[in-house]
Structure 1
Amino acid sequence: MSPSFSDLPSGHQTMLLAHRAMVTDLPRIAEAASRLAQTPDETRAVALSAYIDRVHALIAHHHEGEDAYLWPRLHDLGADENAIALLTAEHQELDKFLVEWNRVAHKLATDGSVASELARITLDVYERIVAHAEDEETELAARLAPVLDEAVWKGFETHMRKTAPLWTLRFMPAWLLMVAAPEELTGVPALPVARLFRGWLVRTQQAALG
């Protein structure tokens, strides 16, 4: 039987919430871009462009942390090499699409004609993120599980906190709080900060996503 959410180390809980936040936001972003394609709005286009830039940065930091810390640490502990190779390869493939997604999003701020293209690319990124998150969560609970322990997760949490851009300290906790069930709050880092900035994030999302 798989462990319940509450039984997982806090770093593992945070990772699951991060995946959920990604796959929750991407369809909303695609829908907002589609509406802009039909009804141009310069103010909303600028807000959406800025919001995507932040989400892209969070996803990129998430992957960079795994590639720079988690996978090498698991490798050193004798983890299944095929599982690590699979997830590393998926990151490399995903990064190509994420870079293009962010490039088009930046262009949206000054060129509303790319809204339709942005909607299409966002849905493509969404499908790839969903598939990768499923693979990653499966491998963490199966082939990689034998070497995962509290110390590994704690080290990963520390690495992510130390390498996070300062602006994420108010965005990321609130972002995860918005997708966490009441019984999953242990996976939200800096919960008081998350609660403090939740209203700000809701307003930011309303400006960008409607």
Structure 2
Amino acid sequence: MPLSSVANLPRGHRTMLLAHRAMVRDLGRIERTARELAVAPDPVRAKALGGYADKLALVIHHHHEGEDEFLWPRLRDAGADRQALETLIAEHAALTDLLDDWHDSLANLSTDSATATRLAELTSAVRDQLAGHTADEERELLGRLAPSLDEQTWKAFETHMRTTAPLWTLRFMPAWLLSAASPDDLVGVPALPLARLFSGRLQRTQRAAFGTHY
């Protein structure tokens, strides 16, 4: 998506774009690391990977829950394009079982090569399907749904997501979003000073899970 098309978007919209970018990026990292563990088992790294991936699974779940329970109903009430909303709702439903299977597979991650291979395969499927969905969602938010979106709606969505988020995400999310941001994207990072404060902790967690070259 060209910078010119997002430069003037509300902060909440730009935060969503960063979240999508970070989700897909981390799924790619998890798949790569799981394949490495299948070849060279490492129980310490497997534990770190499982812990990080579990956090990502909860972040994705909360993201979709917020859209399904708050944003889509609000847009429907505002008269937003019904077909666009139905498409995005159906894509969430199609992702649910796959995401659940993927999340369940994390509990079995150990030094067994077979479980690491299974995780890699499931992660690849999740990444491909989620990448397709986020692309559709971003297109619809800038297209058919745009007439029903305004600054007030995005601020209300931001508030909903913040107040319904698990407490641990208050330290994780800002730094995580910052890790996916370019200098031009910083407006989309909530609580930027907090994001910078906890960036070091996030980087240590990511290095433990993905290795030095993540």
Q: TM-score, normalised by structure 1?
A: 0.97
CA distance in 2, matches of 1:54, 1:111: 22
Structure 1 position 190, deviation (Å): 0.7
Question: Mean Cα displacement is larger for which, 108-117 or 59-68?
Answer: 108-117
CA distance in 1, matches of 2:70, 2:152: 13
Q: Does 1:136 align with 2:116?
A: no
Task: Provide Cα deviations, 1:44-95, integer angstroms capped at 9, x if missing partner.
Answer: 1111111110000001100000000000000000001111100001001111
SS at match of 2:108: helix
User: What are structure 2's unaligned runs of at least 5 residues?
Assistant: none
Structure 1 position 106, deviation (Å): 1.5
Aligned to 1:20: 21
Q: Does 1:71 align with 2:81?
A: no
CA distance in 2, matches of 1:26, 1:130: 10
Checking the alignment, whether the CA contact within 8 Å between 1:42 and 1:112 is kept in structure 2 is no
Structure 1 position 183, deviation (Å): 1.3
Checking the alignment, whether the CA contact within 8 Å between 1:30 and 1:120 is kept in structure 2 is yes
Deviant stretches of 4+, over 2 Å: 1-6, 109-113
Aligned to 2:180: 179
Q: TM-score, normalised by structure 2?
A: 0.95
Specify the code of the residue in structure 1 equivalent to 2:145: L
**Matched residue count:** 210
SS at match of 1:40: coil
Checking the alignment, whether the CA contact within 8 Å between 2:110 and 2:116 is kept in structure 1 is no
After superposition, residues 31-180 of structure 1 pair within 5 angstroms as 31-109=32-110, 113-180=114-181
User: What are structure 1's unaligned runs of at least 5 residues?
Assistant: none
Specify the code of the residue in structure 1 equivalent to 2:60: I
Aligned to 2:199: 198
Specify the code of the residue in structure 2 equivalent to 1:209: F
Specify the code of the residue in structure 1 equivalent to 2:126: V
Structure 1 position 5, deviation (Å): 2.5
Structure 1 position 179, deviation (Å): 1.0
